[in-house]
Structure 1
Amino acid sequence: MSNALKIEKLRAKAAELHGAGALGEAEKLYRRILELHHTDRAARAMIGVIRLSQGRAAEALAILDPLVIEAPGDVDIRTQRGLALQDLGRRAEALADFDQALAIKPGNVISLLYRGNLFLESGAFAAALGAYDQLLAAAPGYDEAWFRRGACLWLLDRFDDALASYARALALNPARFSAAFNSGTVLLKLDRYNEAFSAFEKAKMLAPAHPYVLGGIASAILGGADLARWDTCRAQVVSAVRDRSAVIAPLTFLPFCEDGLLRHACSAAFVADRVPAPAAPLWNGERYSHDRIRVAYLSSDFHQHATAELIAGLIERHDRSRFEITAFSFSRDDGSAMRARLVKAFDRFEDVRNLSDVDVARLLRESEFDIAVDLKGHTEGARPGILAHRPCPVQVNYLGYPGTIGAPWLDYILADAVVLPLSEQPFYSERIIHLPHCYQVNDSSRAIADDTPSRAEAGLPPDDFVFCCFNAAWKIAPRIFDIWMRLLGCLPGSVLWLLDDNDSAREHLRAAATARGIDPARLVFAPRVEQAAHLARHRLADLFLDTLPYNAHTTASDALWTGLPLVTCAGTSFDGRVAASMLHTIGLPELVTQSVEAYEALALALARDPARLAALKARLETNRLSSPLFDTDRFRAAIEAAYQAMLLP
């Protein structure tokens, strides 16, 4: 057999192994080719490609550089060198290689794909979309192009378009797990929870053991208040965290499990999976001597959002003689009045949405911020990878996520003695710091609309008792819903007024009421309205019923700010004690119960005793403006004292 024939047989086998992911075996065959023909360019190039697949971009570049000189017109080699340059962070040189490859061979599929991926990685989403559209013009049946286009549209907040692109990818390649899974993720974002459940079920069929699938299914069940599937899902989620067979988003896990050790394990596993370990900390013990303490607040919620409603007044009131306050925002500008208010309130407003985690971290370090406050934790839009680079001397978990981040780079969590007793410290990676009153900041300037709709306009009965809960649907668990239905059963004509969160939740909650013997028409769903009008309509309700194990947080503030009494049951974890903390702070501790049985009994007793309920409302109105709960300036002094204490040597 001639050498040429041997080489081609070796090349075919090497390509087969390479395609199957057997990189080491493939490389052995490529090297045997080089023994037979030591200048074989294709074999050398493929070893470079293997180095890229192994994450060894510098070695790949050392192989590919001379090959580009030998064969400047070889589009594939030039494209692979561009990919190596991209992996090394040399984006401008990478783009030049991709452009040169396309100049040589316009419409080259791989060059167009990598060029789009480079733009996507660089945050140039519009340019990436243009590249993917150009790619699809050349290869309309290429499922990878449709998939990448979907990812780009997601980042452009064009969720319906992203869903359509993922659908095309899945139609072209029905076995593509990533397209099915990402479709579910987009449907979650669109609040289309029944469809999201179906998408994740499809993904599960394609990859039953994939560690992300169960978390997606659980998110769809929670978001759609699918109480019929809730208990089964809970058992699966808790088991998966216990045996580490799945990666569950910590916020998804909280409503299912109050066990502190498992919650910490869930957070730690999520961080380990999602946040690459940085090479080295950016801050190495230096202490700054600024005239004012530099505080950076990090969030994707600096727009019309519950967190913004709570914190805006604090940002405006920070003592500028002692503190310099900066926003690091990684969210869209929604054009809202709240966004404009926050931009004005901060001393600096850094829009870092299109910067990488490490670039944001470097900006924090170069600006010598003393304290970074993560307002997101493990909630939607969080970017824990920023503070993982340790850019600041003090890094704090506050407000957005009522639990541990499960990682070493956050030093403190701000809480209070009710929501997070020091006995809970073993379950937290952060050191617990107590504020003197309720940990949750409130804005005492929040406007309540003067005009209150009539009960008839709100779809409520004119005289019967109105129970109310405007918590998000994902907080409604079967045990608490059972209590609510029993309350309606005990009070003929009474109704339960809920937030019209999404179509799936409305459907499932009505079905759950029917299954419990209650006419679903007694569940009244309030559509979303502008915030001041939403606060005003609280006046139509008689009593707010809290959820468990995950309480009302901002929604509890809403109720109390508008003078609506709230009954809660103190849970065993941070998120289940927030309403209790507020009620203690505002001087209504008798509305905090210690068991679900007592919660049910108290709610029923108040509904049957108008005089007692009226007395509570009168006390709430008296305390509302005098207690620490809605004293923003008093809170400001407390949190600033905590910040100063954190910086002590």
Structure 2
Amino acid sequence: MNDSEHWLKAALAHHREGRLAEAQALYKQILRTHPEQPDALHFFGLLACQTRDYTAGIALMTQSAALRPDAAHLNDLGNMLREHGRLAQAIERYRHAIGLRPDYAEAHNNLGNALRDARESEAAVRSCARAIELRPDYPEAYNNLGNALQDMGRLNDAAASYRKAIAIRPLYALAYSNLAAVFNSLGEYTQALDAAQRAVRIAPGLAGAHTNMGNACFGLGNLEAAAASYQRALALEPADAGANLNLSLVLLELGHHEEALAHCQRAMAASAPSWSMYLCLGDILRARGDLDPAIEAYRKALMLDPRSAQTLERLLFCMAGSATVTPQAFLADARRYNALMASTAEPFPHDRSQRASQARGRALRVGFVSPDLRQHPVGIFLESVLAHIDRARIEPVAYATHPLEDEVTERLKPRFSAWHSLAGLSPKEAAHRMHADAIDVLVDLAGHTAWSGLAALCWKPAPVQATWLGFFATTGCDAIDYIVCDRHVLPVSEEAHFVEKPWRLPVSYLCFTPPAHAGEVGPLPLFAHGAVTFGYFGKLVKLTDEVVALWSRLLRTMPRARLFLKAPELDAPATQWATAARFAAHGIEAQRLVLEGASPHAQYLAAYGRVDIALSPFPYSSGTTTAEALWMGVPVLCRKGDRFVAHICESLLHAAGLDEWIARDDDEYLERAIAWSSEPGRLALLRASLRSRVLASPLCDAPLFARHLEAAFLGMWDGYVNAGLSVPKAG
């Protein structure tokens, strides 16, 4: 053995044992004597790549391959090129290695990995399958085949491939982790959790296994466990974009908005921001009440995936409550949603004469589609009305698009002739389900809110379709014929904001169901405190900068007054601090604010006993909270708006006979607040009589409202049967 062979053998021994400095010295010594020694060039280059000097290392390995093409060396070079992100060159080297040695299973497997990175999934599957054909007991190839199959959406085949890898190598942690990922994608979260736990037991340092465990816990609804798993993954790989993003989603669900935002931002910094990252960012910003930044995030998500209905729905929900978005701008994006839905929907044909014949002599079949047939404003406003629907005229059918049910659901179910769950169905499947029931008039109760069934209605499963109650702007959808409204919430001057034709109910488009567990109306708090307490018990997202500025102006004008804010978001200390800071920017000390989080509904209603006057924000005005405040004896002050969402409180106040609580502008808003506060005797009399006044008003007259609603649906049907939708409409 000559000196260079001896040094090379020693260098390789050092290299294998991780003594890289010693190996490097010997490689250099060999190359000083024999500058073109292929093995020394190759392994010196490999060592350089292992110490992250890819430029020098790949150059040395390329020089070696030019001097003596060797399949194993070309395979190594392909690996380093792939690590360095030079996929095309890596694929070329693997193919060169296979050309020299067609039965080289490892090179086939590595080629499959590189092709997968290049998003050539079918070619990747072929390469991995060839590796397995050459070496049937090759667990890495089965694992990589599973990865490629998973990319193609062949999840069951991928799971089978991972199981084969595990059968060959029972302690194959990575295969268990990948199997968990497949189960998560299939929604089989219990099996996913089991596979991820096995991976973690085998390899506690495998960050991806902790992430997959978190995903399984998230799917099972165990948010705290999910957060803990993601945090363990990030302790191992702090810059992991997926774990950061998923943790931000969990924290958002838990109401920890500031932490959620921080992890979302870390995810975006760790990789090129994706559609899902911008979507998550928008959701967090919206939850924090930052509507305009949220809108910007959703628009960026749409740029990455212009055909995402999910993003458009979130964008529209956010836009509807923004003071900076005009109704015209909203309508343009709502029409964009319609165009997207129309490109995939296949509307059902309806034979007018046949449908008329089928409906003749029976009650009109009216379907109600909603995710909110539960403790929710929709459920609250719907409950008493359904109790008074004349079943001889209207047969109500429920289509629940959300799986959650509660005590309100149980009270609602008997009010329908049939109850069907559409949860988990695609829009096409949901549409076919409703069409099969021969519904005459189908009513959307959600619009562009979460879990809406609006996409299914774009298939036109019923000949007449309307939207009512659950949203506060146009759907933008040609398939929706009418919007049920009243003259206050949708004046004639604003009809151009909608693609739907308005069907105005005679008095109000809402009917309040008084809560059974509400206590008695208490005395006016002003007498006990010596100063007025204003209150707002709605979502913080409605508190725009303009609202905070006006309410701060009111508090500055009345130095002894307080503002009581109650919202679930205020359970978080960080949200309390941020809210106080918004008012502090306008000179309002934190001591003048009462910030309180969520309570059980009975306690929530009782909290109105500490409020003298409730304030409605703008443009997203109070709806359910207005009705509840009135029921608890608390009058609500609102500012007249310029769009549907801004008129909701106005409509309720008109129905309750409280027109004088509607201000024309900011100045009148302040004037009326100050005037009522300065007359505690008058305010106390109003408080004492308000519940009986509301109960006697159209706002709580469920039998009358039911007659009006029945007439609306029958009128829509008559218009369809007799002359189509081009005839003049009611209102």
- The TM-score normalised by the length of structure 1 is 0.79
2:236 is the alignment partner of 1:169: no
- In the TM superposition, what is the alpha-carbon distance from 1:556 to its structure 2 partner? 1.3
Which amino acid is 1:472 matched to?
K
Counterpart contact for 2:514–2:631, Cα < 8 Å:
no
User: Can you list the C-alpha shifts for 1:367-422, whole angstroms capped at 9, x where unaligned?
Assistant: 55555544343434557665566666566544333234556665654444433446
- In the TM superposition, what is the alpha-carbon distance from 1:146 to its structure 2 partner? 2.6
Partner in structure 2 of residue 434 of structure 1:
503
Q: In the superposition, relative to structure 1, how do residues 224 and 305 fare at CA in structure 2: closer, same or farther (>3 Å)?
A: same
User: Can you list the C-alpha shifts for 1:588-607, whole angstroms capped at 9, x where unaligned?
Assistant: 32322221222112211222
1:559-638 alignment runs, 5 A limit: 559-610=629-680, 613=683, 621=691, 623-638=693-708
Distance in 2 separating the partners of 1:180 and 1:268: 35
Distance in 1 separating the partners of 2:85 and 2:165: 26
Match of 2:201, SS state, is helix
- In the TM superposition, what is the alpha-carbon distance from 1:213 to its structure 2 partner? 6.0
Worse-matched range after superposition: 386-395 or 315-324? 386-395
Distance in 1 separating the partners of 2:154 and 2:366: 32
2:591 is the alignment partner of 1:521: yes
Which amino acid is 1:263 matched to?
F
Worse-matched range after superposition: 304-313 or 359-368? 359-368
Structure 2 gaps, min length 5: 1-64, 305-310, 725-731
Alignment counterpart, residue 158 of structure 1, candidates 219, 222, 226: 222
1:202-217 alignment runs, 5 A limit: 202-206=266-270
Distance in 2 separating the partners of 1:130 and 1:609: 66
Partner in structure 1 of residue 47 of structure 2:
none
Q: In the superposition, relative to structure 1, how do residues 264 and 107 fare at CA in structure 2: closer, same or farther (>3 Å)?
A: farther
Q: In the superposition, relative to structure 1, how do residues 108 and 571 fare at CA in structure 2: closer, same or farther (>3 Å)?
A: farther
Partner in structure 2 of residue 179 of structure 1:
243
Alignment counterpart, residue 539 of structure 2, candidates 472, 476, 483: 472
Partner in structure 1 of residue 326 of structure 2:
259
Q: In the superposition, relative to structure 1, how do residues 81 and 234 fare at CA in structure 2: closer, same or farther (>3 Å)?
A: closer
Partner in structure 1 of residue 561 of structure 2:
494
1:215-226 alignment runs, 5 A limit: 220=284, 223-224=287-288
Which amino acid is 2:537 matched to?
F
Distance in 2 separating the partners of 1:418 and 1:242: 36
Counterpart contact for 2:129–2:145, Cα < 8 Å:
yes
Worse-matched range after superposition: 140-149 or 291-300? 291-300
Q: In the superposition, relative to structure 1, how do residues 282 and 3 fare at CA in structure 2: closer, same or farther (>3 Å)?
A: farther
Match of 1:434, SS state, is strand
Which amino acid is 2:627 matched to?
S
Counterpart contact for 2:402–2:423, Cα < 8 Å:
yes
2:614 is the alignment partner of 1:548: no
Distance in 1 separating the partners of 2:643 and 2:374: 29
User: Can you list the C-alpha shifts for 1:277-332, whole angstroms capped at 9, x where unaligned?
Assistant: 79853553255647665555444434433332222334444444432412324243
Partner in structure 1 of residue 515 of structure 2:
446
Counterpart contact for 1:250–1:270, Cα < 8 Å:
no
Counterpart contact for 1:442–1:632, Cα < 8 Å:
yes
Distance in 2 separating the partners of 1:23 and 1:269: 38
User: Can you list the C-alpha shifts for 1:86-121, whole angstroms capped at 9, x where unaligned?
Assistant: 778776666545444433333444543443334333
Distance in 2 separating the partners of 1:325 and 1:611: 49
2:212 is the alignment partner of 1:143: no
More helix per residue: 2
User: Can you list the C-alpha shifts for 1:13-44, whole angstroms capped at 9, x where unaligned?
Assistant: 66667778887777677666776677777777
- In the TM superposition, what is the alpha-carbon distance from 1:551 to its structure 2 partner? 0.8
Distance in 2 separating the partners of 1:278 and 1:61: 36
Q: In the superposition, relative to structure 1, how do residues 260 and 57 fare at CA in structure 2: closer, same or farther (>3 Å)?
A: farther
Partner in structure 2 of residue 535 of structure 1:
605
Counterpart contact for 1:415–1:432, Cα < 8 Å:
no
Which amino acid is 1:480 matched to?
V
Q: In the superposition, relative to structure 1, how do residues 161 and 243 fare at CA in structure 2: closer, same or farther (>3 Å)?
A: closer
Partner in structure 1 of residue 27 of structure 2:
none
Counterpart contact for 1:283–1:393, Cα < 8 Å:
no
Distance in 1 separating the partners of 2:330 and 2:443: 22
1:238-249 alignment runs, 5 A limit: 241=299, 249=315
Counterpart contact for 2:91–2:115, Cα < 8 Å:
no
Partner in structure 2 of residue 323 of structure 1:
395
Q: In the superposition, relative to structure 1, how do residues 285 and 449 fare at CA in structure 2: closer, same or farther (>3 Å)?
A: same
Counterpart contact for 1:485–1:518, Cα < 8 Å:
yes
1:107-506 alignment runs, 5 A limit: 107-109=171-173, 111-206=175-270, 220=284, 223-224=287-288, 234=292, 237=295, 241=299, 249-253=315-319, 254-264=321-331, 280-281=344-345, 283-286=347-350, 289=358, 295-321=366-392, 322-333=394-405, 336-351=406-421, 353=423, 360=430, 363-364=433-434, 373-382=443-452, 396-405=466-475, 412-421=482-491, 424=494, 427-428=497-498, 430-437=499-506, 440-451=509-520, 461-501=528-568, 502=570, 503-506=573-576
Counterpart contact for 1:437–1:629, Cα < 8 Å:
no
Counterpart contact for 1:219–1:252, Cα < 8 Å:
no
- In the TM superposition, what is the alpha-carbon distance from 1:565 to its structure 2 partner? 1.8
Match of 1:255, SS state, is coil
Paired residues, number: 635
RMSD after superposition: 4.7
Match of 1:178, SS state, is helix
Match of 1:135, SS state, is helix
Distance in 1 separating the partners of 2:191 and 2:75: 37
- In the TM superposition, what is the alpha-carbon distance from 1:454 to its structure 2 partner? 7.2
Q: In the superposition, relative to structure 1, how do residues 203 and 573 fare at CA in structure 2: closer, same or farther (>3 Å)?
A: farther
Counterpart contact for 1:497–1:525, Cα < 8 Å:
yes
Counterpart contact for 2:484–2:505, Cα < 8 Å:
no
- In the TM superposition, what is the alpha-carbon distance from 1:222 to its structure 2 partner? 5.8
Which amino acid is 2:695 matched to?
L
Worse-matched range after superposition: 210-219 or 544-553? 210-219
Structure 1 or 2, whichever has the larger Rg, is 2
Match of 2:322, SS state, is helix
Greater RCO, 1 or 2 (C-alpha within 8 Å, sep 6+): 1
Distance in 1 separating the partners of 2:131 and 2:363: 56
Match of 2:255, SS state, is coil
Identity within the alignment, %: 25
Distance in 1 separating the partners of 2:438 and 2:674: 55
Worse-matched range after superposition: 193-202 or 494-503? 193-202
- The TM-score normalised by the length of structure 2 is 0.71
- In the TM superposition, what is the alpha-carbon distance from 1:174 to its structure 2 partner? 2.2
User: Can you list the C-alpha shifts for 1:613-641, whole angstroms capped at 9, x where unaligned?
Assistant: 46766885565234432233433444444
- In the TM superposition, what is the alpha-carbon distance from 1:547 to its structure 2 partner? 0.6
